[in-house]
């Protein structure tokens, strides 16, 4: 049963590594999309809303960043699919 526990622990470690890699990839993709939107909109700064106490709704660009992420994803998927 120690073998089973060791295998379970190894499996959990592999899952944790995969999860960390996915978070890193997603964070990189969000950052790239935010950069592209900022350049298109002439923005000097893009902040995550969790670091703000208040901002005018007109400063909200989340939908544009998500749309850019979708564009980047579609472009990458096209490159991988030939």
CA angle in degrees (0–180, nearest 5) for 62-65-68: 150
- pLDDT of 39 > 90? The answer is yes
**Contacts of 35 by beta carbon, 8 Å cutoff, 6+ apart:** 46
| Model-wide pTM > 0.85 | no
pLDDT value, residue 80: 79
- pLDDT of 27 > 80? The answer is yes
Closest to 64 measured CA to CA, from 34, 39, 19, 32? 34
Going from the C-alpha of 76 to that of each of 22, 73, 80, the distances in angstroms are 16, 5, 6
For residue 51 the two structure tokens come to 């670091």
């Amino acid at each position: 049963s120690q073998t089973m526990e060791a295998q379970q622990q190894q499996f959990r470690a592999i899952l944790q590594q995969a999860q960390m890699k996915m978070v890193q990839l997603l964070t990189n993709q969000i950052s790239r999309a935010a950069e592209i939107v900022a350049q298109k909109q002439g923005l000097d700064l893009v902040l995550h809303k969790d670091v703000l106490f208040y901002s005018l709704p007109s400063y909200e660009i989340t939908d544009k960043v998500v749309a850019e992420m979708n564009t980047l994803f579609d472009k990458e998927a096209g490159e991988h699919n030939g």
